Chain A
Amino acid sequence: MSAPNKSYDPVEVEALKPEVVEQARDAAFAAFAGAGSLEELKQAKVAHTGDRSPLALANREIGALPPHAKAAAGKLIGQARGAVNQALAKRQAELEAERDARVLVEEAVDVTLPYGRTPRGARHPLTTLAERIEDTFVAMGYEVAEGPEAEAEWLNFDALNLGPDHPARSMQDTFFVQAPDGSADSGVVLRTQTSPVQARTLLDREPPVYVVCPGRVYRTDELDATHTPVFRQVEGLAVDEGITFADLKGTIEQLVSKLIGDGLELRWRPSYFPFTEPSAEIDLQCFVCRGESVGNPDRPCRTCSSEGWIELGGCGVVNPRVLVACGVDPNRYSGFAFGLGLERILMNRHNVADMRDMVEGDVRFTLPFGMEI
Chain B
Amino acid sequence: MRVPLSWLREYVDLPAGETGRDVAARLVRAGLEVETVEQIGADLKGPLVVGQVLSIEELSGFKKPIRHCFVNVGDANGTGEPQEIVCGATNFAVGDKVVVVLPGAVLPGPFPIAARQTYGHTSAGMICSARELGMGDDHNGIIVLESHHEPGTDAIELLELTDEVLDIAVTPDRGYCLSMRGVAREAAAAYGLPLADPALLDVPPANSYGHLVKVADPAGCDRFVARTVTGIDPNAQSPIWLQRRLQKSGVRPISLTVDITNYVMLEVGQPLHAYDRGRVDGAILVRRAEEGESLTTLDGVQRKLSAEDLLICDNSGPIGLAGVMGGASTEILDPAAGPGTTEVIIEAAHFDPVSVARTAKRHKLPSEASKRFERGVDPEAARAAAQRAVDLLVLIAGGTAEAGVTDIAAPHPLRTIAIAADLPDRVAGTEYGRETVTRRLQEVGCTVVGTDVLEVTPPSWRPDLTDPYDLAEEVIRLEGYDNVPARMPTVPPGRGLTEAQRFHRRTGVALAGAGYVEVNNYPFVGEPALDALGLDKDDRRRRTVTLVNPLNDEEPGLRTTLLPGLLGALRRNVGRGNTDLAIFEMGTVFLPKDELKVAPRLPVDRRPTDDELAALDAALPDQPRRVAVALAGERLPSGWWGKGAGASWADAVEAARTVAGAAGVELTVRQGQLAPWHPGRCAELLVGDRIVGHAGELHPRVIKALNLPERTSVMELDLDLLIADGPQRVSGPAVSSYPVATQDVALIVDAKVPAVEVEAALREGAGELLESIRLFDVFTGEQAGEGKKSLAYSLRFRAADRTLTADEASAARETAVAAASARTGAVLRGA
Rounded to whole Å, the gap between the CB of B551 and the closest CB of chain A is: 6
Contact of B569 among A188, A244, A271, A360 (CB under 8 A): A360
Binary per-residue interface labels of chain A (245-277) against chain B in the complex, 1 for a CB within 8 Å, 0 otherwise = 111011101100000000000011111100001
A171 to B467, CA, bound (A): 24
A245 to B473, CA, bound (A): 11
Are A250 and B582 touching (Cβ within 8 A)? no
Binary per-residue interface labels of chain A (86-128) against chain B in the complex, 1 for a CB within 8 Å, 0 otherwise = 0000000000000000000000000001111111111110110
Contact of A167 among B375, B496, B548, B621 (CB under 8 A): B375
Are A151 and B620 touching (Cβ within 8 A)? yes
Are B602 and A158 touching (Cβ within 8 A)? yes
Are A177 and B601 touching (Cβ within 8 A)? no
Rounded to whole Å, the gap between the CB of A257 and the closest CB of chain B is: 11
With a cutoff of 8 Å between Cβ atoms, the chain A residues found around residue B300 in the complex are: none
Binary per-residue interface labels of chain B (589-603) against chain A in the complex, 1 for a CB within 8 Å, 0 otherwise = 010000011111111
Within 8 A of B (CB), among A191-241: 203, 208, 210, 216, 220, 222, 229-230, 238, 240
With an 8 A cutoff between CB atoms, is A56 at the interface? no
Contact of A116 among B429, B470, B505, B639 (CB under 8 A): B639
Are A187 and B599 touching (Cβ within 8 A)? yes
Among A39-47, A57-65, A361-369, the one that faces the other chain is A361-369
Given A245-B476, A250-B487, also A154-B481 (CB < 8 A): no
With a cutoff of 8 Å between Cβ atoms, the chain A residues found around residue B616 in the complex are: 152, 154-155, 187
With an 8 A cutoff between CB atoms, is B623 at the interface? yes
A288 to B375, CA, bound (A): 38
Are B518 and A178 touching (Cβ within 8 A)? no
Are B29 and A269 touching (Cβ within 8 A)? yes
Are B520 and A359 touching (Cβ within 8 A)? yes
Are A278 and B508 touching (Cβ within 8 A)? no
With an 8 A cutoff between CB atoms, is B428 at the interface? yes
Nearest residue in B to A134 (C-beta to C-beta)?
B497
Are B477 and A270 touching (Cβ within 8 A)? yes
Are B488 and A250 touching (Cβ within 8 A)? yes
Are A177 and B623 touching (Cβ within 8 A)? no
Interface size class of A (residues with CB under 8 A): 35 or more
Rounded to whole Å, the gap between the CB of A269 and the closest CB of chain B is: 6
Are B481 and A119 touching (Cβ within 8 A)? no
Are B517 and A122 touching (Cβ within 8 A)? yes
Rounded to whole Å, the gap between the CB of A132 and the closest CB of chain B is: 12
Are A167 and B374 touching (Cβ within 8 A)? yes
Within 8 A of B (CB), among A54-77: none
Are B477 and A278 touching (Cβ within 8 A)? yes
Binary per-residue interface labels of chain A (312-352) against chain B in the complex, 1 for a CB within 8 Å, 0 otherwise = 00000101110011110000001000000000000000000
Binary per-residue interface labels of chain B (509-549) against chain A in the complex, 1 for a CB within 8 Å, 0 otherwise = 10111111111111100000000000000000000011111
With an 8 A cutoff between CB atoms, is B607 at the interface? yes
Binary per-residue interface labels of chain B (458-476) against chain A in the complex, 1 for a CB within 8 Å, 0 otherwise = 0000000001011011001
A177 to B637, CA, bound (A): 45
Nearest residue in B to A181 (C-beta to C-beta)?
B598
With an 8 A cutoff between CB atoms, is B33 at the interface? yes
With an 8 A cutoff between CB atoms, is A304 at the interface? no
Contact of B607 among A155, A249, A325 (CB under 8 A): A325
With an 8 A cutoff between CB atoms, is A353 at the interface? no
Nearest residue in A to B493 (C-beta to C-beta)?
A141
**Interface majority SS (helix, strand, loop, mixed), chain A:** mixed
Are A363 and B573 touching (Cβ within 8 A)? yes
Rounded to whole Å, the gap between the CB of B624 and the closest CB of chain A is: 10
Are A220 and B598 touching (Cβ within 8 A)? no
Given A150-B558, A168-B172, A269-B29, also A254-B488 (CB < 8 A): yes
With an 8 A cutoff between CB atoms, is A161 at the interface? yes
With a cutoff of 8 Å between Cβ atoms, the chain A residues found around residue B489 in the complex are: 210, 238, 240, 243, 247, 250-251
With a cutoff of 8 Å between Cβ atoms, the chain B residues found around residue A271 in the complex are: 31, 33, 171
Are B619 and A324 touching (Cβ within 8 A)? no
With an 8 A cutoff between CB atoms, is A280 at the interface? yes
With an 8 A cutoff between CB atoms, is A22 at the interface? no
Are B496 and A245 touching (Cβ within 8 A)? no
With a cutoff of 8 Å between Cβ atoms, the chain B residues found around residue A220 in the complex are: 549, 551
A327 to B354, CA, bound (A): 27
With a cutoff of 8 Å between Cβ atoms, the chain B residues found around residue A185 in the complex are: 598
A141 to B497, CA, bound (A): 10
Are B602 and A177 touching (Cβ within 8 A)? no
Are B573 and A362 touching (Cβ within 8 A)? yes
Given A127-B518, A167-B374, A366-B517, also A246-B487 (CB < 8 A): yes
With an 8 A cutoff between CB atoms, is B209 at the interface? no
A358 to B519, CA, bound (A): 8
With an 8 A cutoff between CB atoms, is B298 at the interface? no
Nearest residue in B to A281 (C-beta to C-beta)?
B33
Rounded to whole Å, the gap between the CB of A256 and the closest CB of chain B is: 11
Rounded to whole Å, the gap between the CB of B400 and the closest CB of chain A is: 40
With an 8 A cutoff between CB atoms, is A287 at the interface? no
With an 8 A cutoff between CB atoms, is A184 at the interface? yes
With a cutoff of 8 Å between Cβ atoms, the chain B residues found around residue A188 in the complex are: 599, 619-621
Within 8 A of B (CB), among A124-160: 124, 126-127, 131, 134, 138, 140-144, 146, 148-155, 158-159
A317 to B357, CA, bound (A): 28
A175 to B557, CA, bound (A): 11
Are A187 and B469 touching (Cβ within 8 A)? no
Are A138 and B497 touching (Cβ within 8 A)? yes
A70 to B295, CA, bound (A): 141
With a cutoff of 8 Å between Cβ atoms, the chain A residues found around residue B484 in the complex are: 245-246, 249, 268
Are B31 and A269 touching (Cβ within 8 A)? yes
Contact of A149 among B29, B429, B549, B588 (CB under 8 A): B588
With a cutoff of 8 Å between Cβ atoms, the chain B residues found around residue A175 in the complex are: 547-550
Given A122-B517, A190-B547, also A268-B482 (CB < 8 A): yes
A141 to B428, CA, bound (A): 23
Contact of B605 among A155, A180, A268, A325 (CB under 8 A): A325
Given A152-B599, A247-B429, A278-B477, also A361-B519 (CB < 8 A): yes
Rounded to whole Å, the gap between the CB of B525 and the closest CB of chain A is: 13
With a cutoff of 8 Å between Cβ atoms, the chain A residues found around residue B486 in the complex are: 246, 249-250, 253
Are B639 and A117 touching (Cβ within 8 A)? yes
A144 to B505, CA, bound (A): 13
A118 to B645, CA, bound (A): 11
With a cutoff of 8 Å between Cβ atoms, the chain B residues found around residue A279 in the complex are: 473
With an 8 A cutoff between CB atoms, is B581 at the interface? yes
Rounded to whole Å, the gap between the CB of B574 and the closest CB of chain A is: 11
Are A362 and B481 touching (Cβ within 8 A)? no
Are A361 and B569 touching (Cβ within 8 A)? yes
With a cutoff of 8 Å between Cβ atoms, the chain A residues found around residue B588 in the complex are: 148-149
With a cutoff of 8 Å between Cβ atoms, the chain A residues found around residue B521 in the complex are: 361
Are B598 and A363 touching (Cβ within 8 A)? no
Nearest residue in B to A163 (C-beta to C-beta)?
B604
Known: A180-B597, A269-B481, A272-B172. 17 other contacts (CB 8 A): A121-B514, A123-B512, A143-B496, A148-B623, A175-B549, A190-B547, A208-B491, A216-B587, A244-B427, A245-B481, A277-B470, A325-B604, A334-B426, A361-B519, A361-B572, A361-B573, A363-B583
The 3 closest A-B pairs by CB, nearest first: A327-B607, A270-B31, A244-B429
List 18 contacting pairs A-B, 8 Å CB cutoff, sorted by A: A121-B517, A124-B518, A124-B520, A126-B520, A148-B620, A150-B621, A154-B616, A155-B616, A178-B548, A184-B548, A185-B598, A222-B551, A245-B427, A250-B487, A277-B470, A358-B520, A362-B578, A363-B519
